[in-house]
Amino acid sequence: MQEDVDEQELLHKSQHTLTNDYLSIIMYDQFKGRGKWQGNDGTGVPMHQFLLSVIRNRPRDMVKLCTAAAEQAGNLKAQRISSPNFDKILKNYSLGRLEDTTAEYQGELPKIKELLLGMAPQEKKNVAQELYFYTTEALRKKIKQITLTNRFRFADGNIATEDELISFMYKISFLTATSQNDDGMLVRQYFEVNQYLSASADFGFNWEIHPTYR
């Protein structure tokens, strides 16, 4: 189906309207995944919630994610994109974003790939999500373990401290700053929105490895 769309008109529509009038035409309303994507009742989460959680606040990520899932659905002659279509491409999507990030920022930190791969969980926990959340102190400890086998220097030759590596990973959207509001809801801060957060000052935030890289 082809249809002319006024981009300016779309920008003034609510998320609810966009989902009902446009998104539901090309993909199912719910994403039925595992873990936090199972939803409270086990029926999944709204598709737009899943999509926004696995892009790095960058429109190009959305294009790459949905294009890959659409190709997967097309290969199966499906009429709409479904959860299994996304499941099938998520690993390659994640690897692709890792390669993009490495290529984009290697000029600043030559051993960036070793750093990001070193952040992979080494232990098992009852709740998988806990593997990707850190207090600042726990994150410093994790990085210290990585630096036992790799010495990270910035392009100017200076050795990177643990706090500098945290700030670097926050800047490139590998890490997201998180906190809980008064209602217990998780609040996320991205570098593009708040560039002043750092590990060296206590802003009351913890850290999360962005779902894109998991």
CA 88-91-95 angle, to 5 degrees, is 145
- Domain residues for 162? 112-213
Q: Are 177 and 206 in contact (CB under 8 A)?
A: yes
Q: Is the same domain home to 146 and 196?
A: yes
Question: Is residue 95 in a domain?
Answer: yes
Let me know whether 60 and 125 are in one domain.
no
Instruction: Tell me the per-residue pLDDT of 144-159, one tens digit each, with 9 for 90 and over.
Output: 999 998 999 999 999 9
Query: What confidence category does residue 204 fall into, taking pLDDT thresholds of 50, 70 and 90?
Result: confident
Of 85, 105, 125, the one marking the end of a domain is: 105
**Whether residue 174 sits in one domain with residue 147:** yes
Residue 44 clears pLDDT 60, i.e. is over it: yes
Residue type, 44: G
pLDDT tens per residue, range 107-150: 999 999 999 999 988 766 545 556 889 999 999 999 999 999 89
Q: Are residues 35 and 121 in the same domain?
A: no
In this structure, the answer to whether residues 92 and 151 fall within a common structural domain is no
Quick one: pLDDT band at residue 11, thresholds 50, 70, 90?
Answer: confident
What does the alpha-carbon distance between residue 174 and residue 212 come to, in Å, rounded to a whole number?
A: 8
Residues 134 and 62 both lie in one domain: no
Which pLDDT value is given to residue 197?
A: 63
Total of domains in the chain: 2
Global pTM value: 0.81
Q: What is the mean pLDDT of the chain?
A: 85
pLDDT band at 99 (very low <50, low <70, confident <90, very high): very high
85 and 124 part of one domain = no
- pLDDT given for residue 123 in this prediction: 67
Together in a domain, 133 and 208 = yes
Q: Has residue 58 got a pLDDT over 90?
A: no
pLDDT attached to residue 1: 52
* Residues 58 and 129 reside in one and the same domain: no
CA distance 66 to 198: 33
Same-domain pairing of 85 and 131: no
